[in-house]
Amino acid sequence: MGTNISLWSAYDRLGIKNRIVMPPMSRHSTIDHGCPSQELADYYIRRARAGVGLIIIEAASIDDNVSLSYVGGLQFHNKTHVEAWRPIVKELQEAGAKVIIQLYHAGRLTNSEIAGTCAIAPSPLRHFPQKSHLIKKDGDEYVHFQTRTKLDTPREMTIDDIDDVQKKFSISAQLTVEAGLDGIELHGAHGYLIHQFNSTVTNKREDEYGMAGLEFKFATELAAKCRQSISAEKILSYRLSLHMVDLPFARYSKEEMDIEALVKRLENHVDIFNCSEMKAGNPMFGADKSLSEEVRSCTQRSIITCGGIGSVAEAEKLLNSGSSDMIAYGRALLANSEYIKMLGTDNFSDFKEYNSRIHDAIIY
């Protein structure tokens, strides 16, 4: 990549009008079995009209039970969801945005109160005792932030379970085409199911879906099947991170999760690697490169960088470094629906600082 890349220039490879991305941020605002509320629809539409180039709709579960991790969480796995999203997607696209939806499975990061059944995961390992947006401490116990009950010790997935989950992802991916979406993102980050398969910390299996040989069999098969479901013309993004919901200060170790090997396995199926970092541009714990830099060192696929980016100057620096093609603004967009207009006019007189106690509970 060259120098003097503008945040506002079109990203021609994917037909996106600028390099500004709204990352997926769960709002827990649904009706009728995981369909979007009008409030949620309006939330996305306002940001599209303000000028976001690529909107990634928040994590949507691929079934109505074991893949769910939130009460009121978005779902996308049947015709009802297609019909609910089709007019919203059309309006977002008419505002000039490309729109994809993030598909996910909770793995061990759920409980039976939400899923209606025991959690499943690559290995029967309970979550790490660590506070986060999903896990709160109640006395001596770590509990789900909504149900205030413990997360399950998951059941180890059988080969049939793995096949079933991959089929569900594929079905959801195909349904996005019917809804008119521009593509999908696979949530391979933050310690959810796909990430759990990709780390020796959470995957202790000794069969072909284990970590021996760095085959990353589950993620690679899943990406291939979803690519087939949506066709080559649609966008397939893969979100990855070093940190997990329950392990925010993970140190980078090739023995635990070799990012280079993972990216090389996936790149034949993936258009975008969406890098979620604790602080964009900073080296990963235990490494001399940021996550985006590590990914760039082994692929020329498009890269989104996300994580505490606070200014146009910071964004332009990341773009000009060559490690990033697009920049995701999360918390600023959460708190300010007009944030992209503010960036364009350099007028921040109405800017609201993100406050988790306010902006994690309401949407506007």
Q: What are the tens digits of pLDDT across the range 111-165?
A: 999 999 999 999 999 999 998 989 999 998 999 999 999 998 999 999 999 999 9
Residue 5 lies in a domain: no
Query: What is the average pLDDT across 281-301?
Result: 96
Q: How far apart are the first and last CA of the chain?
A: 37
Q: Is residue 65 part of a domain?
A: yes
Mean pLDDT score of the chain, rounded to an integer?
93
The whole-model pTM stands at 0.96
* pLDDT beyond 80 at 21: yes
* Residue 364 pLDDT grade (very low, low, confident, very high; cuts 50, 70, 90): low
Give the confidence band of 28 by pLDDT, cuts at 50, 70, 90: confident
Q: Pick from 157, 242, 164: which is nearest to 204 by CA? A: 157
Q: 218 or 358: whose pLDDT is higher?
A: 218
In a domain, 302, yes or no: yes
Decide if 66 is inside a domain. yes
Dihedral in degrees, nearest 10, Cα atoms 195, 200, 204, 206: 100
Domain assignment present for residue 151? The answer is no
Does residue 4 form part of some domain? no
Q: Report the percent of the chain where pLDDT is more than 70.
A: 96
Indicate whether 344 pLDDT > 90: no
By three-state DSSP, how is residue 238 classified?
Answer: strand
Distances (CA, A) of 204 to 111, 117, 123, 201, 266: 21, 22, 6, 7, 21
Rounded Cα gap, residues 8 and 24, in angstroms: 21
User: Identity (one letter) of the amino acid at 24?
Assistant: P
> What mean pLDDT comes out for the span 26-31?
89
Q: In angstroms, rounded to a whole number, what is the distance separating the alpha carbons of residues 30 and 89? A: 16
Q: Could you give the number of structural domains in the chain?
A: 1
pLDDT value at position 2? Answer: 45
- Give the pLDDT score at 25: 93
Q: Is the pLDDT of residue 1 over 90?
A: no
Residues 313 and 7: their CA atoms lie apart, in Å, by 9
Distance of CA 148 to the CA centre of its chain: 24
Q: Is residue 303 part of a domain?
A: yes
Range of the domain at 197: 12-107+158-359
> Which residue is listed with tokens 């090997």?
261
Tell me the CATH number at 184: 3.20.20.70
**CA atoms of 59 and 271, how far apart (whole Å):** 19
**Is residue 344 assigned to a domain?**
yes
- CA separation for the pair 132, 350 (Å, rounded): 29
